Amino acid sequence: MAGRPKHFQEDELISKATNVFWKKGYTAASAQDLMQAMEIGQGSFYRTFSGGKKELYQKSLKKFLNESITLFYQKLEETENPIQFIKDFFYRLPTYSSGEKDNGCYLGNAIVELSNIDEETRCIAANQLNKLQEGFKKALYLAKEKGILAKEKSPELIALHLINLWNGINITQRINPNNDEIIELLNLNLSLLD
């Protein structure tokens, strides 16, 4: 009897490992932690990820944002109001559980943790966050086309502001989990979309 296709198994393993990396970070997540979460032994681990923990982490970063950005673009295509879409995207952040808030942004964490350790992996995370910024820019251009965003406002500059806000809010929530204050901070920052 044939088993599941290898690529399906790999995706499943990467998803399980992502939870470990997100909670512990790259450095603190041991190969043992990862194998335990993936429910595989050392032989299977290295047969599937010959590059070890680093390969697994890089694949998890790519998979994480590819899934997230695909969902982002699908929802963007369905919306009538791209400005409200962006606001809703940010206003979800205070609704996260305390554990999710403590974990922060998966990609942002990678950039901070690895900036002086592993340039290759840091670049992968940075490139993935750039894709989110491109998604913001696309939404803003759509808003301009629909007459929802003022003509004098720059989608490029606002998209840069939004990715900065995304990174900042994810860190601020870890320091100050007060939802009311986070919402006020979002109100202040997102008012530039009005």
- Give the list of residues 6+ apart from residue 26 with CB closer than 8 angstroms, or none: 53, 57, 110, 113, 114, 121
Report angle CA 65, 24, 41 to the nearest 5 degrees: 90
pTM for the predicted model, two decimal places: 0.83
**Residue 152 is assigned to a structural domain of this protein:** yes
In CATH, what number is assigned to the domain containing residue 182?
1.10.357.10
Model pLDDT for residues 10-54, shown as the tens digit of each residue: 999 999 999 999 999 999 999 999 999 999 999 999 999 999 999
Model pLDDT for residues 140-176, shown as the tens digit of each residue: 999 999 999 999 999 999 999 999 999 999 999 888 8
Report angle CA 155, 88, 11 to the nearest 5 degrees: 95
**Residue 120 is assigned to a structural domain of this protein:** yes
The more confidently predicted of residues 53 and 6 is 53
Model pLDDT for residues 69-120, shown as the tens digit of each residue: 889 999 999 999 999 999 999 999 999 888 888 888 888 888 888 878 888 8
**Residue 128 is assigned to a structural domain of this protein:** yes
Report the domain count for the chain: 1
**Residue 75 is assigned to a structural domain of this protein:** yes
**Residue 38 is assigned to a structural domain of this protein:** no
**Residue 94 is assigned to a structural domain of this protein:** yes
**Residue 8 is assigned to a structural domain of this protein:** no
77: containing domain:
58-193
